[in-house]
Structure 1
Amino acid sequence: MTILELHRTDLRGKTLDAMALRSVLPRADVDVAAALATVAPICEDVRTRGVPALLELTARFDGVGITDVRVPAEQLRAALADLDPQVRAALEESIRRARLVHADQRRSDTTTTVAPGGTVTERWVPVARVGLYVPGGRAVYPSSVVMNVVPAQVAGVASIAVTTPAQREFGGSAHPTILAACALLGVEEVYTVGGAQAIAMFAYGARDADGTVVVRPVDVVTGPGNVYVASAKRYVQGVVGIDSEAGPTEIAVLADETADPVHVAADLVSQAEHDPLAAAVLVTTSEALADAVDVELQRRVAATKHAGRVEEALRGRQSGTVLVDSVEAGLAVVDAYGAEHLEIQTADARAVAARVRSAGAVFVGPHSPVSLGDYCAGSNHVLPTGGTAAHSGGLSVQTFLRGVHVVDYDEAALREVAPHVVALAESEDLPAHGEAVTARFGA
């Protein structure tokens, strides 16, 4: 193997604004908009032909011939019965911790008295039905079942469906560990459809050739996936709600000279093993640390199971080291980058982390690696990527709730405010708006 060194961007001595920083920082060549040309006909095929299209697309893209898109209930039960006890215990602990964190996200209804006799109540109402996507390409992700299902359940969603790609290795069914995780969480509606066609299936629903409804449409689609999944979510947004366009994973580490290069390198490798397009970015004030991380990466990549995939990710233009003059400058860099996962490995890490404004999730200090959040921190690992953390948050209970205002005014309260309503209606040249109020008082 040739020498592996992260590509370096030296920003020392430079003062760059957020726009300039975004143009020079490492970023993957993932064009969700360009993928729409591929995704649009797939989504339309599913919308118009339903299940027959899903079967054909699964054969084309996954190389698996299936005759039914839904997993039988007995297969879910069998998968749970056969689950390795250690994996089951780990999943149960992951679920317990996730429920603790997500339970505290549930909002309470609030009533505000605006005037005597006039109130506005904000009710938090769960959506009726959700479709949760669990990836299944290079790896198996039962943890993503937990991360999608738990907040939906805590929110009170009544109808939950999960889909994951069909696996040739398992005769066209899903990976047994994913099925077991669904069973453990009490999810009985599981499909073996992946990619853009899965997102379209949830958005539009799907009928069989004879017109029978096989999959009912959902209100919200969530879950991570590749660029085609992200593009499909963009395509159907508006027909359904989505969480975010979560693409290939990212890790950024903001570190100073106090950081341990072994920790930093291990964490970069841990995320790079997801995908050749995974991004691994080190932002540091210390050139000595950057050198030490490169040395440690060389050793770790050679020894890791998925060395080829990891090396491709680390050598890609989406990965690299950014040298900065100070932690303050480093904060500006990571805020401009907006990482899915951001580790703070600096002196006084908690104080530095408190100043971060743009990240999907922040991991503080040497004992909070991203992989903890992937599985058992209690936080959610379905997070915004590609810089969208600047305006979007991770999957949460709020994703599945809608705020509904309930307006309740009595006659006296309406009469008191009527002149203001009329004045505003007339200022907007909408006189009937005002008349809808005055008509109640014989005017």
Structure 2
Amino acid sequence: MELFKKQRVEYRRRDLDQLASMKVNFTESVCHADKKCHNECKLKVYNFGERKSVWGGDCGRYETRAEGGRETDYFQVRQALFEKALMEAGNLLTEAEAGRQPKPVIGIPLALHSLEWGVFWAHLFSELGFPVLLSPKTTNKLAFLGVENVVSEVCFPVKVFHGHVRYLMDRAEYLFLPNVVNAPVPQPDEIGYLCPLVQSSQYMCRSALNIPDRRIIRPTLHLKEDPANLVYVFEKAFAPGLRPRRSELQRAIFKALARQMEFSRQLIETGNEIIAHIDPAQPVWIVTGRPYNLYDDRLNLQFGKQLAKLGIKALPMDLVSSDSEDMSDFKRMFWGLGARIIRTAKRILRTPNWYGVHLTNFSCGADSFIEHFYRHLLREKPSLILELDEHSAVAGLLTRVEAYRNVVNNLQEKRMSRKLDPDEPDSLEAAG
């Protein structure tokens, strides 16, 4: 309707006799439109006259329509930098190569903490000379593998992590499943803890999948602390037959950490360059969340791609610098990622053409503590919180996205026109 009002949809006159005599053909097929997609959606295709209607796709390929052209998918920009940093590690194997190695293969599941810290993990084992097998991108099959193996009701990202670990069990001699307790923080007095389920994911997988203890490399990592402390922790985690010399391990840890930090700097530099070239009149969506739902296309239903197809300029929060934001009003923020989400919300608030979208998952305990703070901070602007799980579908997601787009665009047009009635509120808060 919005497109029709703006005269971007052509009006078609219909003849009732023609409609009555029209034949409708129905076929079913499996979608192969994107060779890189492994969903294998079963499509229902209706042909009537010269028109076609396609139903059943998970990605929204056949439903979305852009207003004014497709945008760049900045989630894929982040993904390209991540994959480049991973590949630079060397010693990364394909599935076929994993079974032909003289040295034991280390399997690293690309889920949960690895979608943020995978560069560190991959470079560390590569520097130590171990061949590394990364689990593939999450597919429906891999997600289902996790769902059917999990033994307690947890959030979807943890279920998917089980699927990645189960995949690697048949292909790698050793599994790298660290207990990541906390992450680096901008200020020394911050706490920086990760979600308890992320911290304990190794214990859950070991129990649910009956993994022998001897196959797991499981250091307890306090990444917030001095990197020198990691040497002893990793040394203790290796089995005696695998354990490298301490000097070799220290060198590998420091080199791998340096590459991880370089990756983080590249993200911010790339984001700054993108932001510098954005027209202040153009609305920009800043998408917050956790790495394991922001950067897994199965978990977020290809959210970046959906927004790009709709012509929406949207940046994931890894491309937005927020470390300098004042957190004095959140002195006891427990969660490391929660603090980053709140910082990003503060920058959204003070940037006129920025609007907030937060991706979360059903049963996310950590997000349940901070969502009301997120809404409170952005009370002067419209914001959108999307909860997803294994039952979510693109159609419902797009309905909310398109409604939010209309609100954002209308508000942005009013603000830029400078023709507002003096008594008309310019913010949601002022409107009451």
TM-score class normalised by the smaller sequence:
under 0.3
- The structure with higher relative contact order (CA 8 Å, sep 6+) is 1
TM-score by length of 1: 0.26
Rg comparison, structure with higher value: 1
